[in-house]
Amino acid sequence: MTEATPTDDLAPQEPRPNRSGRRRMVPIGIGMGVIVAVVALVASLVGGSLFFYNADEAVARREALGDERFTLQGAPIGCSIIEGFNGEDPVVAFSVTFGGETVDIVHFGDPADLFQPDVPVVLDGAWVKGSVRVEGFDGVAADGWYFASDRMRVKHDNDYKNDEEYDQRLAESTAATDASGAVCGT
């Protein structure tokens, strides 16, 4: 037989110090971090989303929308497009039409690359009550409101037209009256 050593003693020993408090805090901290991240993500998605309205819907909801940002769609009226500057910044004033309604637009910044008459545009911005202050632009709607935009995208599809049809559409868009019946000032 071997001799017993103090480490081989089977007598009850003092329990180890309790470390479970620290171990419990780590999962709780991770869980709280995940909850905060999810709440921040949801808040940014909800706060960053804009409602989408066609021009006729936006006019119908103008009072309810107030100065809230939203996305507006319409087709630019060819005879209404005026490019200029607001100080040193480029600005484009034009009118769009959709569903029989016309909206005056002031876009702050360069127009989208494919911006042209009768090709639908999608704009982010808000309603502004007052007259448009862009030299040479009287507005087609001229209803005391305009849509102030800071982001423009051109909506296009894969339905390309031949050159003859394009020339005809271009001539129609530069005439004094557009397809919706809106008349540009002369």
> What is the rounded average pLDDT of the residues 107-112?
92
> What pLDDT score was predicted for residue 161?
53
| Overall residue count recorded for the chain in this entry | 186
Q: How far apart are CA 107 and CA 95, in angstroms?
A: 11
Q: State the CB neighbour count (10 A cutoff) for residue 155.
A: 13
pLDDT tens across 51-73, in order? Answer: 889 999 999 999 999 889 999 99
Report CA-CA distances (Å) from 40 to 29, 34, 37, 51, 163. 17, 10, 5, 20, 51
> What is the rounded average pLDDT of the residues 96-119?
92
Domains of the chain: 52-174 (2.40.50.140)
pLDDT tens across 19-46, in order? Answer: 666 677 888 889 899 999 998 888 777 6
Report CA-CA distances (Å) from 42 to 29, 37, 88, 124. 20, 9, 38, 21
Q: What are phi and psi of 123, to 5 degrees?
A: -125, 140
Give the predicted TM-score (pTM) of the model: 0.64
Nearest to 81 by CA among 45, 51, 105, 49: 105
